[in-house]
Structure formats: C-alpha cells, structure tokens
Chains A and B, each alone.
Chain A
C-alpha cells in the first residue's frame, strides 16, 4: 500500500496538491450527482414546469406521474420481467458455473486445459456479434418472444467469467479438506455442495454482483428476442416508450428515475461489495 497523504502534516506544495485534487474530484462528483438529482426532481414536475423552469424545485410533490407510468405504461410489468429473467439466469449461472469450476479445478484429467480454454474464450469474444446464428437457433427452438431465450443467452454470457473467477478460487482451497470429507464417506456431490460451496461464499457474492448488473441492464438481446409488449424488459420498455412520446418530458424523467432507482438503492446498501466485485475480477488475473 502506498503512503497516505494527510492534509495536516503536509508541506505547502502537498497542501496545494491536495486542495487541487479535491476540487477536481468534486467537479466530477457534481457532474454525476446533478443530472441524477435533476432527473428525480423533474419526475415530480409537469412538462410545462420542466420547460419553463428546468433548474427550479417542483412546485408540488405528487406521485401521479409514477402511477401513470407504472400501471398505464406497463412499467410494473417490465420491471417484473427484468426481475424474473435476471434471477433465473443468475441461478443457472451460479449453479452450473460453480459445478463446472469444481469439475475443472478439483479433478486432473486429459483435456482439462482445453475445457478451461473453451470457457475462457467466452470472455474475450463479444456475444453480440454472434446474434445471427443465435437468432436462427432460438427460432429453431421456437423460443422467439419467450423469456427463456434471454435466460439461456444470459446464462451463456455469465458462465465464462464465473468459471474464471470461481475455478481460480477453488484451486486455492487445500486438498486436505477434500480428503477429510472423503474419509468421512462423502460422495463427490456432497463434497461440492457441503464443503466447497460454503467456502466459496465470498467469491459467489462477487460473481453474483459482477454478472447481475450487466444482465439487469442488457438492452441488446431483449431488443432482438422479446418483441411482444407483455414480455419486454425494463431497458427495452423504456426505449419503446420514449420512441413514441418523445415530447412528453414528465414521463421521460419519471421513467428514467424508475429505471435507475433500484440500482441506486442496491448500491447504497452494498457499495463495498459492488466495488470489490467489479475490481477483483479484473485485477486478480
């Protein structure tokens, strides 16, 4: 760890450096917070108020806009779809990903490295560019306009990084724990489920965060595969709605607030894990 720079004992030059740094970082903080703040207060305003007084506080606070959006514009439905798809895909990612990591990292066999490479190839290659064959495949399986299509694709998208992070962690668990389990008569499945999974809890939290955010926010695959209105996800619902009502500013700001709010709330509670999760995967390799 690099030495800390405290204002109190700093030399004059360092004090100037500290003050300049804080100013630069504060400017960026304002650049982040102000648009978000403006967006939230605008969701209480009427279109007329937004156009006439873009910076002022709203004259009254009512949740009328949110109610219209949630019920009349189907945002409740979009939200539920996003939630369902993210949760189911994450269950698959974690279950199959941890099983594969266990198989690859704890058994030595021919082709071990090849298997690992197949999983890793998914990290480097953009799945978006493979959408044409994916579309044909999904069509053949009769899954177009079925939530299962996106669940499957997101599972595939999440598995490579999951195997990469979990297999790395499982390799570091001492063999003795496994032997102790075997002597007590544990089957392979019980060793995986009752010994390894609890030990991996922190890495699993990390993998969950690392994958759930991009899945929740993904726009491309739901855009292609979920075109019926009742099964759209939140990002796609947002875009289809805005395309047709681009002058209705109060609905625009309300919709954006609804789309962003869950992430802000989650982040306020879990920022420590979020930050760890997003950096650890990148730095460890």
Chain B
C-alpha cells in the first residue's frame, strides 16, 4: 500500500513536469507527421477527405504528368543544392575552421564577421541579393565598371545560372556555421596527439589529414546531417528570389516550393491538393530520414576513439 502511494506520487510529479511539453510536441510535431502519412493514402476534394486509395497518390507523383515531371525536376534541383552546399560551403567551412583554430592574427575578428550573415532572416538575404543580381543590380554594375560588360547577365532570369545563383547566395549566408562547428571540434583535439605527430616528423598537411581530421568526424556527421535536412527543405530562398513557381521555367523549383504549391494552390490548375501534398511531404520525411541515417552510419564507421 505504502509503495503504491509512493509510485503514484512520483507519477504525479513527473507528469506535472513533463506533460505540458509532451502534449505540445505530440500535438504539433508527432501527430501531424502521422496525419500526413494517413492523409496521403486518401483522395481529396480540396479540404474534404474522400476515399481510401492506398498508394495511388504516390503512383501519380512518380508516373503522372505534370507531377512526375515537376517532382523529378525539383528533386534534381535539391540534389544540386546538396552537392554544391556539401562541397563549397562545407569545404570552406573546414578550411576556415582550421585557419581560425591556428589563431592567426585577426582570427577573433574573422570569426565574428563570418558568423554575422547566419543571423539575418532568409527573406532579407534573399531580397538583398535578388537586388544585387538583378539585370541593373550591383553585380552587373561591377562587371561593367571593371571592363567585363560582356559578362553581364540577368542572373536570376537565366535558367542556366538561376539555381546556382540561389545556392551561392545561401552558401554566402551559411559558411560561418560549419566554420564554427569545425573550429569548436578542432579545439577539442588534445594537443598531445598533435605534438606526437609533429615529433614523428609529420608536416602540417599530414597532421591535419592523419590526426586532426579523423578526430573531428563526429562534427562532420552533424554538419552532413544538417546539410541534408537543409537541402531537402529549401523554400524561403526560392520564394523570395525567384518566386513560388521556381522561375525561370521551373529551373529553381524545389520539393519545398512544389509541396507548397500543391498543398495551397495546385501545381498547374490552382486548387489545393491535400492528398498529393501529403504524399510529397511523406517523401520529404522519408528522404530526410534515410539520408540522415546513411550519413550517420557511414561516418560513424570511420569514427576514431582516442
């Protein structure tokens, strides 16, 4: 009897502390996720759920015009986001992180300035660079002033350059983040390991790749996973710089903008399509989950214990 009272009391106390947050997280995060999966299996008339149709929405997404064309085009653009961010942004992040860790003159100043754009709203960054990249914007003015007028472009209006331009603007904004993550990780590498390798006659290049790099792989995993999540969720940048339909001619369309158009005003017609939208959101969930898992597993296997 005594014990039962005690567990009951503990149950009450724990509930008091955990329940408010748990209710919010379950109703606003977990339940919507499950609902998306459920909704994707039905046909819809605007906001009204009709019949259970199994995986037909997914089938349409992968095989039927215009969904199939838009979806794979968007997926290709997302892949481009991922590859360029991974190589350019994280490459520079690693370089800057390493340079900052050597405390070269001015590193405190560099560190602070690098991180500044991370704090700006995507909308402000998008519009600012949208202006600079416009036909009579700053970049073209610079090209003209430096004697390369033939290089001038409507950077966001030309399908050849538009997506790359968006990605580079986003990289401009984010480089500071991986730099600081890598800096923090390199700072945690014990100085004995580095001294030992230097005593063994290794140069800085060898020390970095053979000693420091293997030890900072956990931070690499984090940056990889965040890059994956980020590249699959591109939306604001496109919305602000080239518009919701990913102009010109869907060259900058991403799954995020396709999802938004499908859910709130359809791909080509103009009505919300809840079933298709839910199917796209389930694909986003699955892709995020699978790729995160793959990058965690593959980098984990390369991790080194001290």
Interface residues of A (CB under 8 A from B): 1-7, 18, 21-22, 24-25, 28-29, 31-33, 35-36, 38-39, 51, 54-55, 92, 96-97, 99-100, 102-104, 107, 109, 115, 118-119, 121-122, 124-134, 136-137, 152-153, 155-157, 159-160, 163, 188-189, 192, 213, 216-217, 219-220, 224, 234-236, 238-239, 242, 249, 252-253, 256, 259-260, 263-264, 266-267, 271, 274-275, 278-280, 282-283, 285
Contact = CB atoms under 8 A, between A and B. Distances in A.
Nearest to B221: A285
B128 A39 contact: yes
B84 interface: no
19 contacts: A2-B187, A3-B194, A7-B104, A28-B96, A28-B175, A109-B14, A115-B18, A118-B26, A122-B30, A125-B33, A129-B284, A137-B27, A159-B25, A160-B29, A219-B240, A235-B122, A242-B127, A252-B131, A264-B116
Give 3 nearest A-B pairs by CB, closest first: A103-B17, A156-B28, A130-B32
Contacts of B129: 35
B119 A122 contact: no
A283 B92 CA distance: 18
Contacts of A220: 235-236
Given A104-B18, A126-B229, A136-B47, 7 more contacts: A99-B18, A124-B292, A224-B264, A267-B119, A278-B115, A280-B184, A283-B181
A173 to B, nearest CB: 15
B284 A126 contact: yes
Contacts, number: 275
B39 A4 contact: no
B: contact size bracket? 35 or more
Interface stretch (B54-62, B71-79, B274-282): B274-282
Contact of B113 (A32, A92, A128, A224): A32
Contact of A279 (B11, B24, B32, B181): B181
Nearest to B44: A132
A118 B22 contact: yes
Given A99-B20, A99-B21, A132 B122 contact: no
Contacts of A96: 20-21, 24
Contacts of B127: 238-239, 242, 252, 256
B112 A128 contact: no
Interface string B103-122: 11110011111111111111
Contacts of A38: 138
B192 to A, nearest CB: 11
B188 A283 contact: yes
- Of A21, A54, A136, A278, chain B has the most CB atoms within 10 Å of the CB of A21
Nearest to B178: A282
A124 B226 CA distance: 9
B123 A235 contact: yes
A184 to B, nearest CB: 18
Contacts of A163: 21
B125 to A, nearest CB: 9
A1 B28 contact: no
B297 interface: no
Contacts of A118: 22, 25-26, 30
A122 B20 contact: no
Contacts of B18: 99-100, 103-104, 115
Contact of B31 (A103, A133, A274): A133
Nearest to A223: B239
B246 interface: no
A5 B169 CA distance: 32
Given A271-B115, A275-B111, A260 B29 contact: no
A33 B36 contact: no
Contacts of A31: 172
A258 to B, nearest CB: 9
Interface in B68-100: 92, 95-96, 99
B180 interface: yes
A129 B106 CA distance: 42
B277 A132 contact: yes
A122 B29 contact: yes
B67 interface: no
A165 B225 CA distance: 18
B278 A2 contact: no
Contacts of B136: 51
Contact of A125 (B14, B29, B177): B29
Nearest to B272: A132
A213 B119 contact: yes
B299 interface: no
Contacts of B156: none
